[in-house]
Structure 1
Amino acid sequence: MLATVLSISTSSAAVPSWRRATRTITTAACFLPMSLSFGTSNNILLHQPNTDRQIWMRSRHSKQSYHGIIGRSSNSVSSRIAGILSAEGNTCTSNNNISVDYTTYPPPDDSFMDHMLYRVNEMNIIPRHIKSSLIDFVVDGHVLGRLTPQIAQLLISNNKDGIFELSSSSNNGGDDLSKPTTTFLTLGTAAGTTFEQRTKSVSKVMTNLHNLGYISGWRNELYPVSDTFDNSKLQQPLFLIERAAAPTLGLLEYGVHINGLVVKNLQHDIMNNSNDVQMWMARRSQTKSKYPGYVDHIVAGGQPYGLSLMENVIKECMEEAGIPEDVARRGIRPAGAISYEIYSPISTASGTTAAAAFADQGSVGWGAINRVVLFCFDLYLPQDFVPKAVDGEVESFFLWGLDDIVKSMDPECTDPIKPNCYPVIIEYLIRSGVVSSDSPKYLEILRKLRSGPCC
C-alpha cells in the first residue's frame, strides 16, 4: 500500500543564490508484504529502530550511503510511483505469488481541500496592520515573545514597581542608519535577576490583570518560559508564568494533542483502508472556559514545567480519558508537530468595568498573540477499549470515522471540532496518505501547518 507522507523543498547552499535551484521532494511510504524481495544486489533490507518494521533501501554505487528504494522526478506523483518496480529496473519476486496493489487514495476534490485550508487558516490569523506593529519581549538577550504596543503599555501602567519597562536597542551608536533603533519590552530591575524572583514578580502583575478582568480562563498551571523547546533550557527556564497569561506576552506555548485511533485490521497497517480507521473524539464539558461543548481530541493538554513530553502524554491519557499507563505506552507513537500564530482580541466576557474599558480603547492592538507549537501523537487503542471521563473536563467520548471528520471541516458544519485540533488531524490525514500529494492546494496546506515558530 502506497501512501504519500509529505513534501519538502530543498536547495543547495553551496552555490550562490542566483544559481541555486529549489526542488520540491514528495516522500511516500509503501507497505510491502514480508515475502516481497527486490532482485538487484544493491538493495538491502534495514531494520527501523524501536519498531517491528524493516525498510528496503538502495545502496549507491561507490558511495557509502543509502537512499530510498525509488527515486525519480515526476509531474504526477501517484501515477509515477504506481510503476515504481519496473521504473528502477528492480525485479519484484514473491515466493507466495502475493499481488500487491500499488495504488494511493484518489486526490480529494477541490471543496474538501478548500475546507481543510479554511480550518488551517482559522489558526493563522494576524491582521497585517497588527503584525507590522508587534514589538519583542526580550529578557537577557533572548526574544521570548511578541506583543502589541498597546499591551506593552498596559503591562507597564498596571505595575507601579517597574517590573515591566520599555527599552531600546541602539543602531551601533547612531552610525549605522540601516539598523534603526527598535523598542522592546523587557523586565526591569525590580523584577529581580533570579528564576524565583522573576517568577514571583511576573505573577504579581498577571494576577492583578486577571483580577481586573483583562486575563480570563485562569488555570493555575505554570508554563516554563524559554526561547526554544530545547529540553535543557525548559528544565532551567528564565521564569514560570500562569498558562492563561502566556498570550499576553506572546510567549511560545507548547502542548500535546493525541489522535486516538482504532484500526479494524491492524495487521494490514493503518494505511491499507481508510474505512478501517476510526478516531476517538471527546465532547468538552459545558463548564470549560474556552470552547464549551465542542468536539475535541480524546486527549490534549499544555506542556507543563518539570515533565518530558512522554511523561505528560501518559499523565494526560490517565487524567482525561482513563487510559491505563500500560495501554498508553504500548500504543503511543510520536508523530511530528504543527505550529500556529493567531491574534485574539480581548474578550469582555468577564463583564468587569476594567475589561470593558480595555476593549473600548480601540480595536487596533487590543489583543493577545497566541504562538503555539503542538506535538502530535498517534495512540493505537484496542477495539474493545472505551475511554472514560475522569477529571470532569469531558462530557462523553464517541467514535468518528474519517468521513465524519472530513464532514466536520465544512465551514457550515454545526458541530465542529475545536479549531486547534484541525491542524493536527489534517497533518494526520496527509501523513497517512488520505490526502494525496496530487491534490490541489496540497503544498499550501503543508506550509501553513507550520506557519508559527517551530523552535
Structure 2
Amino acid sequence: MQATDFKTLLNYIEKCNTAHLHKDFLPFRANDQIIGWVKPEFINTLYQYGIFKADDQINTLPPTISLESLGQKIIQDKLVQTMHELFDVYPSPHAKPIGQIDRAVLPSLGFIGTGVHLNGLVKDGDDTYLWVAKRSPHKRLDPGKLDHIVAGGIPAGHTHQSALAKEAEEEANIPHQLIIQAQYTSMVTYSMIRPEGLRRDVLYCYDLWLPQDFIPTPNDGEVVGFELMKIEDVYRRVCDTNDFKFNINLVLIDLFLRLGVISAKSANAQMLKIGLRGKLFP
C-alpha cells in the first residue's frame, strides 16, 4: 500500500467519524436509557412535542409518548420528509430495540441506524472480481454514486440476516438458494455529521461468492445497473476517485484487508482496521 493510498483510505474513515457527541450534542433519553444525541438548537423544537428536561438535566421522552408518535409529529410539521419506512430504535448495537420510528427521523435525533452490505464476489482462476452497482440518479441520498450489489437499511422487525435476503431479491434479483450462502464477516461503525443530521451507523458486512454465470439485474429502481470489476481495479477506483458512496468506501477497505489487497500486517493497515470501528458513544 502506497503512502498516498493510505492517506486517502484513512481520510475516508476520518470523514465518517466527524461527530463529537459531548461537544456538539445533548443526550436524549427514553425508557431510562440514553438512545440519541440532539443538536442544542433542535431541543427547543422537541419541547413542543412533550420532551422535558429531567432533574438530572437530561432531555427525556415521557413514557406516555411513543417514539413512533414523536417521529410522526416531526414529519407532520415538515421538519423531516418521511421515508415511509420504520426502523427499530436501539440503545446500542447488541441491545434489543425499545421502539420504532420513521427512518428519516433517525439523524435528527441521533439514533443508531443499522444497515447491511453485501460484497458480491466472483472467482475466475487466480483473479477476484466484485459486482459494483450504480445508484439511481433519483435517490434522495448520494444519487449516481457507486454502491454494493446489495446494501440497505434494516427495517423494523428484521434481523440483518433477514434484511439481507429481502434486499438481495429486491435490488439485484439474487435467488434465495444463493443468498443463504452469504457469510457474515464484520461490523463497521461510525458517527458523522451529514446534511440529513447525525449518522450513528452500524453496518453488518457479508461476503457472497457468486457463480461466474450469475448476472444481477435491477429490480426496484434503487440502482440503474451493475458492473463486474476486478478487485484491484476497485481498489484503484477507491483510492483515485470519489465515485463510491461515502460509507461503501469503509466496507471496501474492510474487504481489501480481508482479501489481502491491503497487507493486514503493516502498522498502517492496523490503523485502518481500528478506524473501521468508530465510536458510537462519547
| 2:42 aligned residue | 151
Mapped to 2, the partners of 1:442 and 1:136 lie a distance apart of: 34
In the TM superposition, residue 439 of structure 1 has moved relative to its aligned partner by: 3.3
Who is 1:340 aligned against? 190
Q: Quote the RMSD (CA, aligned, Å).
A: 2.0
Are 1:260 and 1:280, in contact at CA under 8 Å, matched by a contact in 2? yes
Deviation at 1:228, TM superposition (A): 2.7
- Cross-structure match for 1:243: 103
1:184 aligns with 2:184: no
Map of 1:257 onto structure 2: 117
Distance 1:381 1:423 in 2: 22
Tell me the amino acid that sits aligned with residue 260 of structure 1. Answer: G
**After superposition, what is the alpha-carbon deviation per residue over 1:13-40, rounded to whole angstroms, capped at 9, x for unaligned?**
xxxxxxxxxxxxxxxxxxxxxxxxxxxx
The within-5 A match list for 1:30-429 is: 108-126=1-19, 131-157=22-48, 159=49, 162=50, 164-169=51-56, 183-188=57-62, 190-191=64-65, 198-209=66-77, 211=78, 214-216=79-81, 218-230=82-94, 233-234=96-97, 237=98, 239-265=99-125, 273=126, 276-330=127-181, 332-345=182-195, 368-410=197-239, 413=241, 416-429=243-256
Bigger CA radius of gyration: 1
1: CA distance, partners of 2:257 / 2:202: 18
Equivalent residues of 1:155, 1:205 under 8 A apart: no
Q: Deviations over 1:205-244 (max 9, x none)?
A: 22134x2xx324x32111111213447x23xx2x210011
Letter in 2 for 1:146: W
Counterpart pick for 2:257 among 427, 430, 433: 430
* Matched position secondary structure for 2:158: coil
TM (norm. structure 2) is 0.92
Percentage identity across paired residues of the two chains = 30
How many residues get paired?
Answer: 281
Determine the C-alpha separation between the residues in 1 that align with 2:7 and 2:124. 30
- Write the letter of the residue equivalent to 2:16: M
Q: Shift in Å at residue 421 of structure 1?
A: 0.7
Aligned-partner Cα distance in 2 for 1:344–1:165 = 26
Displacement of 1:202: 1.1
CA contact (8 A) 2:130 2:229 kept: yes
Contact kept in structure 1, 2:87 and 2:156, CA below 8 Å = yes
Q: After superposition, what is the alpha-carbon deviation per residue over 1:188-212, rounded to whole angstroms, capped at 9, x for unaligned?
A: 3551xxxxxx145213322134x2x
Q: For residue 132 of structure 1, report the CA deviation from its aligned partner.
A: 1.0
SS in 1 for 2:58: strand
Q: Give 1:206's aligned amino acid.
A: I
Unaligned runs of 5+ residues in structure 1 are 1-107, 170-182, 192-197, 266-272, 347-367
State the distance in 2 between where 1:109 and 1:278 align: 22
Q: Distance in 2 between matches of 1:428 and 1:168?
A: 47
Letter in structure 1 aligned against 2:101: I
Distance 1:391 1:423 in 2: 25
Aligned structure 1 segments of 4 or more residues deviating by more than 4 angstroms: none
Q: Distance in 2 between matches of 1:225 and 1:301?
A: 16
Q: Decide whether the 8 Å contact of 1:408 with 1:416 is kept in 2.
A: yes
Change (3 A) 1:203 1:345: closer
Q: 1:165 to 1:434 in 2, by over 3 A?
A: same
Distance (whole Å) between structure 2 residues aligned to residue 345 and residue 229 of structure 1:
23
Deviation, 1:152, is: 1.5
CA contact (8 A) 2:120 2:208 kept: yes
Which of 412, 428, 441 aligns to 2:268? It is 441
Residues in 2 aligned to 1:289 and 1:438: alpha-carbon distance in whole angstroms: 39
The residue number in structure 2 matching 1:21 is none
1:73 alignment partner in structure 2: none
Q: How far, CA to CA, are the matches of 2:63 and 2:185 in structure 1? A: 42
